[in-house]
Amino acid sequence: MSTYKPDWAPKNAGSEFACRVMTGVAGGHDGMPGIITGAAKPADASKRKKLGVEDYVQGVLAGDRVVLSRAITLIESNAPAHMDMAQQVLQQLLSFAGNSLRVGITGVPGAGKSTFIEALGCMLCDSGHKVAVLAVDPSSSVTKGSILGDKTRMEKLSKEPGAFIRPSPSGGTLGGVTRKSRETLLLCEAAGYDVILVETVGVGQSEISVRSMVDFFLLVVLTGAGDELQGMKKGVMELADAILINKADGDNMRRAMAARVDYDRILHYLRPATEGWQTKAYTCSALSGTGIADIWFVITEFQEKMKKSGVFNQRRKAQTISWVYSMVEEHLHNLFFQHPNVLVNKAAIEKDVIEGRLSATMAVKQLIHAFEVK
Ligand SMILES: Nc1nc2c(ncn2[C@@H]2O[C@H](COP(=O)(O)OP(=O)(O)OP(=O)(O)O)[C@@H](O)[C@H]2O)c(=O)[nH]1
Ligand SMILES: [Mg+2]
């Protein structure tokens, strides 16, 4: 195995400088499928059996995690042939999807979302649930990172036989990531996962996107006290079905309790995210596990109440329909902005608008005309 010196090693350091950076583990580790790094390809990679639509469908329905992973990879592929096959697989699995509780989890970086998911996920696996963890992270396509890429943060959960963890797809646009995450969610449900946890980092658009694919939306916050409360966008709080003040432990305990009162006061004046449900603030320590069972109780109470009132199913139907139209919109948007006639005329029309020779409305007419002429 090759090694090299870390960046901070003295330039002329010899072998007496004991620190080396080793390449990562390539094979199966801790019961997880191997992650292929660099040249270290497992011998059977090229011989891996090609799966047909029926193999995918049966494998997913049987709860085979390897087939599920491969089905998700198919869903994530941008190659036209794969997309076609992925849709055939999805179509057959659709009637087996839907039987889960979908929970979205958002919050600023470092709020403790992953630690919380690990604690909650392990607790649920212990009580017989099958838990899938997904991520929506449009920024990862830029940074090439992934919010769930750091396996060490969910080390315990990844060892649970009842858990399935999938890092965020690198899909480019948020629309692409959203489609892949939604379809992945459906595949996980067909594979028998009855709790789906979707983590997203709090960067605006992705929160709205996750809200639109889950039943319950949880906002994880920290006690940065007053400033954070001031800076927090009202919009984000209005998306949440519960606000969870994490790191309520040690010296932070008292501040967390105070923050809870502050949040509750503000929530009282905001429009709740779900009709017939009052969003409230709670505290927990994802690290020690205090408060995890309580927030799960809140989530299941929500599920029970909303199913009874019909809001649960109504929301799911509305989410699916609005997903259809948002994909139509995205498609039309791309058709327009990639149309050669639009591309040719755009700059001149913009110039005329900026310099006051053309009204905005007339500009629209000209652009649409450019788009429509054959
Ligand atoms: N004291 C204390 N530390 C915590 C708690 N929960 C998480 N942490 C620590 O906070 C840091 C960030 O936790 P993560 O779970 O990675 O946070 P995250 O929100 O997933 O972060 P991103 O994925 O980067 O957005 C880690 O060092 C955790 O150990 C908690 O309840 N108490
Ligand atoms: Mg995280």
Domain's final residue, options 320, 336, 358: 320
Q: Ligand 2 mean position to 154 CA, how many Å?
A: 9
Do 258 and 281 have their domain in common? yes
Per residue in 37-92, pLDDT (tens digit) is: 334 444 455 457 899 999 999 999 999 999 999 999 999 888 888 999 999 999 99
Range of the domain at 34: 1-43
Q: Report pTM.
A: 0.82
Q: Tell whether 50 is covered by a domain.
A: no
Give the distance (Å) from ligand 1 centre to CA of residue 199.
Answer: 13
What is the pLDDT confidence band of residue 224, given thresholds at 50, 70 and 90?
A: low
Structural domain includes residue 113: yes
* 108 and 232 share one domain: yes
Within a 10 A sphere around the Cβ of 317, how many other Cβ atoms? 9
- Please indicate, yes or no, whether residues 298 and 349 belong to a single structural domain of this protein: no
Q: Which of 64, 28, 38, 39 is nearest to 49 (CA)?
A: 64
Ligand 1 pocket: which of 105, 108, 115 to mutate (most atoms within 8 A of CB): 115
The CATH number given to whatever domain includes residue 356 is: 1.10.287.130
Tell me how far the alpha carbon of residue 112 lies from the centroid of ligand 1, in angstroms: 3
DSSP annotation of 203: S
CA of 112 to the centre of ligand 2 (A): 7
User: Does the residue 71 lie in any domain?
Assistant: no
Ligand 1: which atom is nearest the Cα of residue 246? 31
Ligand 1 atom with least separation from CA of 220: 19
* Ligand 1 atom at shortest distance from the alpha carbon of 288: 31
- For ligand 1, pick from 105, 114, 122, 253 the residue to mutate: most ligand atoms within 8 Å of CB: 114
Ligand 1 atom 32, closest CA: 247
| Paired tokens of 320 | 């699916």
229 and 351 housed in the same domain? no
* pLDDT tens, position by position, 298-324: 999 999 999 999 999 999 999 999 989
> Is 346 found in the same domain as 248?
no
The answer to whether the CB of 184 falls within 8 A of the CB of 72 is yes
Say how many Å lie between the CA of residue 141 and the centre of ligand 2: 16
Say how far apart CA 77 and CA 333 lie, in whole Å. Answer: 21
CA of 370 to the centre of ligand 1 (A): 52
Same domain, 248 and 359: no
Ligand nearest to the CA of 220: 1
Output the CA torsion sign for 102, 288, 206, 191. negative
Q: Is residue 79 a part of any domain in this protein?
A: no
Establish if 58 belongs to a structural domain. Answer: no
Q: List pocket residues of ligand 1, CB cut-off 6 Å.
A: 107, 109-115, 147, 153, 201, 246-247, 249, 285-287
Domain membership of residue 139 (yes or no) is yes
Q: Are residues 245 and 345 in the same domain?
A: no
Statement to judge: residues 222 and 258 lie in one domain: yes
223 and 125 housed in the same domain? yes
Question: pLDDT tens, 83-105?
Answer: 999 999 999 999 999 999 999 99
Domain termination site, one of 320, 339, 354: 320
Q: How many structural domains does the chain have?
A: 3
Q: What is the CATH number of the domain that holds 251?
A: 3.40.50.300
Asked if residue 184 and residue 117 are part of one domain, the reply reads yes
Whether residue 69 is contained in a domain is answered as no
| 1 and 104 co-located in one domain | no
Query: Are 244 and 112 found together in one domain?
Result: yes
Closest ligand relative to 107 C-alpha: 1
Say what percent of the chain tops pLDDT 70: 79
Residues 6+ apart with CB under 8 A from 105: 113, 116, 117, 197, 198, 199, 200, 218, 220
Q: Which helix (H) or strand (E) holds 313?
A: helix 311-338
Q: 136: pLDDT confidence band, cut at 50, 70 and 90?
A: confident
Is 301 part of any domain? yes
